[in-house]
Amino acid sequence: MQKVFQSCYDLDKRCYEQYGLTEDILMENAARGMAEYIKAHFKEGSSVLIVAGIGNNGVDGIVLARQLHGIYDVRLVTPFGVKLEMAKLQLKRSEAVGVQVVKELYESDVIVDAIFGAGLNRELDKETQYILHQLHVFNGYKIACDVPTGVGEHGNLMPMAFQADTTITMGAYKEALYLDEAKDSIGNIVRVDLGVSSQNYEQESHCFVLDKSDSKVPTRNKQNSHKGNFGHAAVFCGEKEGAGIIAGMASASFGAGLTTLVVHEKVSPPAYLMHSTVVPDNASALAIGMGLGGYFESEFYRSMY
């Protein structure tokens, strides 16, 4: 499982205070992660358009332009100018190596969105929306820096978002990348380190995303075994009972030794599914939410703990 965070502000802060890393170092590593991805997937000389905003996400884009210049045909657009002192410093460095800062958006082999990143809490203005519409028309491969522009801090669209083929997220995985409304804007998700390993960067989290390796179907290679050796899944069957029954059938197909539907009223599931009005004492896993509705009172949930 991989840890997922709503915000990485505290994680970055710990890098500054505990590890002595500077904002400059984190930005260099963020850009390097994007640069390595581009180098691995696109041949030298390809055209790269980088659109940088006024925040730290934009600074990452400016640093990326410097790191790619000389290997790729890089064009940097800063449609809102540069305001942060770090942005001014990084732009000066980029211009010193010959990065072209242009005003127009161009069709390119690679298009990098570095306008807004994580933590967006307001709707995009009309000018930004217009820029996104222009970028969507282009046929180049689209990469979002950290989080696609327009994906809000809670995974909602504000009111639209950059349509990325790949999102390269910095330091740790963000909740917004996995929530339903934003899924079509995210593309593939790649995480890059910021100068320390993920083990040192991350802190405790109560939210996780599963890896393929977490899916371990029970194997029944011992002859001296019975259904109780393979777990007992309790599936809550609520207002939309069909959803609960289907989930129970999936549990049984996956390999759970026993599957019980927890119900208020009698249902007619397949014969291999049991049903009960209470959670069985020997249940080893609970599945709650499929078609649940308002069938179960909060007191019932609390009684399970």
CATH number of the domain enclosing 184: 3.40.50.10260
Domain identity same for 250 and 153? no
* In-domain check, residue 301: no
> Which pLDDT value is given to residue 299?
63
Domain identity same for 21 and 49? yes
* In-domain check, residue 99: yes
CA nearest neighbour of 241 among 293, 304, 173, 182: 293
> Which pLDDT value is given to residue 197?
96
**Residue pointed to by tokens 């390999």:** 255
Classified as helix, coil or strand, 224 is: coil
Domain identity same for 205 and 236? no
Domain identity same for 180 and 253? no
Task: Tally Cβ neighbours within 10 Å of residue 98.
Answer: 10
Distance of CA 54 to the CA centre of its chain: 23
> What are residue 190's phi and psi, to 5 degrees?
-125, 130
> Which pLDDT value is given to residue 304?
59
Distance between terminal CA atoms of the chain? 24
CA nearest neighbour of 62 among 34, 43, 37, 38: 34
Domain identity same for 49 and 150? yes
> What are residue 221's phi and psi, to 5 degrees?
-100, 10
Domain identity same for 41 and 153? yes
Rounded distance between C-alpha atoms, residue 93 and residue 89, angstroms: 6
Domain identity same for 54 and 189? yes
Domain span including residue 249:
227-295
Number of domains in the chain: 2
Domain identity same for 188 and 238? no
DSSP classification of residue 153: T
Domain end, chosen from 161, 188, 213, is at: 213
* In-domain check, residue 144: yes
Domain end, chosen from 213, 239, 255, is at: 213
Query: Taking the chain (305 residues) in consecutive chunks of 10 residues, what is each chunk's mean pLDDT?
Result: 95 97 97 98 98 97 98 98 97 97 97 96 97 98 98 96 98 96 96 96 94 76 83 92 94 92 87 92 92 74 58
Q: Are 264 and 278 in contact (CB under 8 A)?
A: no
* In-domain check, residue 251: yes
Domain identity same for 201 and 232? no
> Which pLDDT value is given to residue 238?
87
Residue type, 128: T
**Residue pointed to by tokens 């980029």:** 94
* In-domain check, residue 118: yes
Domain identity same for 55 and 171? yes
Domain end, chosen from 213, 247, 279, is at: 213
* In-domain check, residue 165: yes
Task: Tally Cβ neighbours within 10 Å of residue 250.
Answer: 15
Q: What angle do CA 114, 6, 294 make, to 5 degrees?
A: 130
pTM assigned to the model: 0.82
Alpha-carbon Rg for the chain, nearest whole angstrom, is: 25
Domain identity same for 97 and 23? yes
> Which pLDDT value is given to residue 298?
67
DSSP string for 45-69 = T-EEEEEE-SSHHHHHHHHHHHHHB
CA nearest neighbour of 174 among 31, 3, 24, 300: 3
Domain identity same for 241 and 114? no
* In-domain check, residue 220: no
